[in-house]
Amino acid sequence: MNRLQELLRKFKGKRVVVLGDFVADVFVYGEISRISREAPVLILNHRDTQVVPGGGANAVHNLRALGADPLPVGILGDDEEGKQLIRYFKKLGIDTSGIRVTKSYRTPTKMRIIAGAVHSPRQQIVRLDSGGPGKKPAKTSERAFLERKLKALLPKADALLVSDYGYGIILPELVSGLNRSGIPSTVDSRFAMTAFSGMTAATPNEPEVEAALGITIGNDMEKLEWAGRTLMRRLKHNALLITRGKDGMSLFEKSAKTTHIPIHGTDEIADVTGAGDTVIATFTLALAAGGTYAEAARLANYSGGIVVMKHGTRPVTYNELMAAIGE
């Protein structure tokens, strides 16, 4: 058994606190019937509707599928989508005491309509987003709840994962004032990455890095090197893992040369939905298990390569990752 497989075995039972924006990913599947006479649109015969954890909730789901004991901390609405996420977590044996359900908040929901014919592959034709408070900041009572739960759970945790999708709940000050007691702390922030400083590592994708620095990287490796080093210095992190789609990943560390990791598997990607959640979940869990940044990045790369070959928001499992490493 190689080193990465040994590290993966240590994933079991690791306690990871996930402070996140919890999203309900809804997939509505239909079979194309005909073109409507009312408008030039497809008429679908409804076949199935699935509600699965998305956003920070998808990171929680991935941690559980990899054998960890995730501890979610966040806010959900007192609505059907929020209730379904709570039920989903409880069915997986996940402790939901760190989640506050409130009527003043609507659970962020991303509804994807997936269409296909009998003998043809299905594809997404439209997405409808709803819920969340927009850009309004979290209420004082909600912030107090999150702070209280974080302070109670972190002393028992092996790592902290922050998943900020920009819904106004996951504020940088929630994290900056915490005593993380030397445990790894990682962040994936869609719109405010530079506000989360002084953590262990971040896992942005290349477009997020470009937006943060106001540049375009493209295929310029010198620009990529400058961007990674500059951003890591500004964030005051120990490491930065930039995901680059079909070009793999690039790992930046304070005291080491940049490591470029080619994509695992084929670049004929099926679906990138939720891939970032899978990457940060695997990366964080590997650090919690005692792995180096390079080992964590390699495991995250394996997971990323596996998950983009799956349709919809689905986690990578412990057995899938073990098999990929052994190939």
Residues assigned a catalytic role: 277
Round to whole Å and give the CA distance between 66 and 286: 10
Distance CA(19)–CA(127), nearest Å, equals 26
8 φ, ψ to 5°? -60, -35
For residues 303 and 316, the answer to whether their CB atoms sit within 8 Å is yes
| Residues 6 or more apart in contact with residue 118 via CB below 8 angstroms | 31
Burial (CB count within 10 angstroms: exposed 0-12, middle 13-18, buried 19+), residue 189: buried
